[in-house]
Structure 1
Amino acid sequence: MANRFILNETSYFGAGARENAVTEVKARGLKKILFVTDKVLLDCGVATKVTQCLEEGGVAFEIYSEIKANPTVKNVQDGVAKYKECGADGLIAVGGGSVMDTAKAISIIIANPEFADVVSLEGVADTKNKGVPLIALPTTSGTAAEVTINYVITDEVHKKKMVCVDPHDIPVVAIVDSELMMGMPKGLCASTGMDALTHAIEGYITPGAWELSDMVELRAIELIHESLYNSVNGDPKARETMALAQYIAGMGFSNVGLGIVHSMAHPLGAFYDTPHGVANALLLPYVLEYNAESPAKPKYRAIAKAMGVEGTEKMTEDEAVKAAIDAVRALSLSIDIPQKLGEIGVKEEDLQDLSVAAFNDVCTGGNPRPTSPEEILEIYKKAF
């Protein structure tokens, strides 16, 4: 069996890298851009840092910013309509995962109009054409949507987060400019950073992992451990490191899959509009405890070492497992991540329905330990 690894055609990294958006637009012969962002980023001036580059470079564009924190089917369909109405031939997305996921779905539907209902894109959709050109600039250091072949859209009618997996949706260009991330408030920096750690750890222990993905995921874990606390507390160098770390984590998990931390986090977003990073961060230690009883158990030693734990080579396997989980929980606590579902408004009477939705999530197949709705329910109860 061959291992596949898909990345962007081109990626740029570093402070000020956003200026390359103009170069890429012109090099690809694009005449008009639909600029996808959200109202908060427009109001605080982050998106303006990119639109200013486009204006100075003579690039024509129109803005679409009607996007919720957990983007919906309607957000995507409205974006498709805006793209057609303004005569665009390419997209630039400036934002977190919600913005980039919306732009990915727009890109796919423009090139594959038979999926205009959006809901038919759930899972691994049989699209025929590569999405229209998309240049993605992340403003948070966590989701890595700029380098993945995944996106998530909320079906509000059925209270469901649809995970869509499609090699045709990956942005042609990723521009990781840490200056666009400097304005993140502490809470967002913390939750998106823990989202990146979840990506790296789940990507490392999934059954689909192999040497190349292991290499990048372990490095991502190391960088996140070294820089997340300082990044949350506003250190510019640490934010630049986190910008790179979250991209590296995305390189891996996009190609090998995730597990039930994400499966369990997705319904929380659909039911309660819980920010994805918060849900992942809260659930990660509980799922790590559950997954310790799996073929991935020996890998916990390397996770502990990457998390800065000393003396891992002398530990028993069980001691290494505990050390890894304790290190993850300690980092989470140090940046004020909620530790119980009740703290973020989850209702105990919903846990059964959440468990069924999580079990049916596309990420469940990538978990290192086979599971069931009943076992997922027990994890939710423990986290409650």
Structure 2
Amino acid sequence: MKTNFDFLSPSVNFFGPGVIEKIGERAKMLNMNHPLIVTDKFLEGVVDGPVAQTLASLDKAGVTYTIYDGVEPNPKIHNIQTAKELYLAENCDSIITVGGGSAHDTGKGTGIILTNGEDITQLAGIETLKNPLPPLMAVNTTAGTGSELTRHCVITNQETHLKFVVVSWRNIPLVSFNDPLLMLDVPAKLTAATGMDAFVQAIEPYVSTNRNELTDGMCIQAIKLIEGSLREAVANGHNVEARTKMVEAEMLAGMAFNNADLGYVHAMAHQLGGQYDAPHGVCCALLLPIVEKYNIIAAPERFAELAEIMGENTEGLSTRDAAELAIKAMRQMADDVGIPRSIKDIGAKPEDFPLMAENALKDGNAFSNPRKGTKEELIQLFQEAYDQE
């Protein structure tokens, strides 16, 4: 556990029902005279939805804007290039993202190539950015990736199918907005996928080699909130209390992994998402119990603690047996919210595993995993995730 560390978070995080009304006010405070609104066609078309409410707040504040609605799941290089061209053509001066992780990553990626060079593939890695991005605010609509308040920008190379990460403090939005009322109509499957992503993002930092006392506390509270609210949010999307707790959880998890980093679950999930264009949260959920069982020997006490945090009765059990209960609880959560068991369900092919394992070990999330693996071991983990029923 680190004793000397920095702690990164947006300057301002607005949370709670109705905070979306503050967007125009904050845009004016940041001298955003002509932001590019980065979103997708679906959200743009929702009557009185997140985009409509964002635009209404900007209109009220007298802020001019241009809309880029080309965001797609697992954003590609061509998405950020198109957004950049529109930004320049319309003389924009800032960026506001509206959506989930894909919108936020697209906005960050656009900002990166506007100020740090056209070839974003050369900027993959940790703290590679030399120049600040244009002013950036993030309106979040899922709970969630945490991308609205983290330094991670995840982009897919559409030619190689490789998903890569640009990690830099310069990527952190200046202001984030998390209004649970924007999430009431999120479909059950998307609620489950994004909720499992938040679950993984609370678990991996807890066993990360870069963890600290602050991130531990955030992980513990996030896990408890998710245990108590994700199932209800999936079953009844209009339960405001469940939605609110999930937003609290994803924010805590986001701040935790923003500072303690992640591990092999995310490193491997990026390969699944890039290769098969599969939902990120589903990829993470499919791999979670397999990878964390592999990790137990590196931090058995931490996994035993996770079992207790997740509500398992560990009284009288050995540390190893208690740790195994944590894996059982992870799998049960995925089952309860309808995540499939095998990566076959997202189109995975064993012949792709060697390259995916090789690339996973290069992923920026791999270096903080508690157990240091080999290419052959990661191939085997992909195979176990393929064979499990």
For the aligned pair, the TM-score class normalised by the smaller chain equals over 0.9
Indicate yes or no: 2:225 matched with 1:244: no
1:54 Cα deviation (Å)?
Answer: 1.6
Aligned to 1:6: 8
Correspondence for 1:352 among 351, 354, 357:
354
Name the SS for the 1:314 alignment partner: coil
**Aligned equivalents of 2:176 and 2:45: distance in 1?**
23
Matched, 1:308 2:311: yes
The change in CA–CA distance for 1:125 and 1:76 in structure 2 (over 3 A counts) is farther
Equivalence for 2:86: 82
Q: 1:182-235 deviations in whole A, cap 9, x for unaligned? A: 121000000100000101100110100011111111111111111100011222
Which residues in structure 2 correspond to 1:49-88 (within 5 Å)?
49-88=53-92
Structure 1 Cα separation of the partners of residues 129 and 320 of structure 2: 45
**For residues 86-235 of structure 1, what are the structure 2 equivalents within 5 Å?**
86-112=90-116, 115-233=117-235, 234=237, 235=239
Contact 2:265–2:284 at 8 Å: present in 1 too?
A: yes
Question: What is the letter of the counterpart of residue 308 of structure 1?
Answer: G
| Alpha-carbon distance in 2 for matches of 1:313, 1:44 | 50
Partner of 2:368: 366
Deviation, 1:125, is 4.6
The CA distance in 1 between the partners of 2:132 and 2:55, in whole Å, is 26
> What is the aligned-residue RMSD (CA, Å)?
1.3
What letter is aligned with 1:287? V
Answering whether residue 260 of structure 2 is matched by residue 256 of structure 1, we say yes
| Aligned residue among 19, 25, 28 for 2:27 | 25
Structure 1 runs (4+) greater than 6 angstroms displaced: none
SS of structure 2 residue aligned to 1:53:
helix
Does the Cα contact within 8 Å between 1:227 and 1:241 map onto a contact in 2? yes
Asked if structure 2 preserves the Cα contact closer than 8 Å seen for 1:76 and 1:118, the reply is: no
The question of whether the paired residues in 2 share the 8 Å contact of 1:142 and 1:193 is answered with: yes
Q: Which moved more, 1:40-49 or 1:170-179?
A: 40-49
Over the matched positions of the two proteins, sequence identity in percent amounts to 37
> How far apart, CA to CA, are the structure 2 residues paired with 1:147 and 1:122?
19
The DSSP-based 3-state class of the residue aligned with 1:8 is coil
Supply the distance in 1 between the matched residues of 2:233 and 2:204 (Cα, whole angstroms): 22
**Runs of 5+ consecutive residues of structure 2 not aligned to the other structure:** none
Q: Distance in 2 between matches of 1:209 and 1:149?
A: 16
The DSSP-based 3-state class of the residue aligned with 1:362 is coil
User: Letter of the aligned partner of 1:285 in structure 2?
Assistant: P
**What letter is aligned with 1:302?**
E
For structure 1, which segment, 189-198 or 26-35, has the greater mean C-alpha deviation from structure 2 after superposition? 26-35
> How many Å separate the matches in 2 of 1:228 and 1:25?
32
Shift of 1:314: 3.4
AA in 2 matched with 1:300: F
Kindly state the Cα deviation for residue 2 of structure 1 after the two structures are TM-superposed. Answer: 2.6
Q: Which residue of 2 aligns with 1:340?
A: 342
Aligned residue type for 2:61: G
Secondary structure of the residue that 1:163 maps to in structure 2? strand
Q: Which segment is superposed worse, 100-109 or 202-211?
A: 100-109
Q: How many residues align?
A: 380
8 Å CA contact 2:304, 2:320 repeated in 1: no
* C-alpha separation in 2, matches of 1:193 and 1:214: 19
Matches of 2:4 and 2:309, distance apart in 1: 28
> Do the aligned residues in 2 keep the contact of 1:122 with 1:165 (CA within 8 Å)?
yes
**8 Å CA contact retained: 1:225, 1:306:** no
Question: Matched residues in 1 for 2:110 and 2:315: separation?
Answer: 49
- TM-aligned CA distance change 1:281 to 1:83, over 3 Å: same
Q: TM-score, normalised by structure 1?
A: 0.96
Q: Tell me the SS of whatever aligns to 2:224.
A: helix
TM-score (norm 2): 0.95
- Distance, in Å, in 2 between the alignment partners of 1:142 and 1:354 is 25
**1:16 counterpart (15, 18, 36):** 18
Contact kept, 8 Å, 1:77 with 1:118, in 2: the verdict is: no
Query: How far is 1:120 from its partner?
Result: 1.6
3-state secondary structure, aligned to 2:297: coil
Q: Report deviation, 1:162.
A: 1.1
Q: String of CA shifts for 1:135-188, please: whole Å, max 9, x gaps.
A: 101111010001111110001122210111011110000111111111210000
CA apart distance, 1:313: 4.7
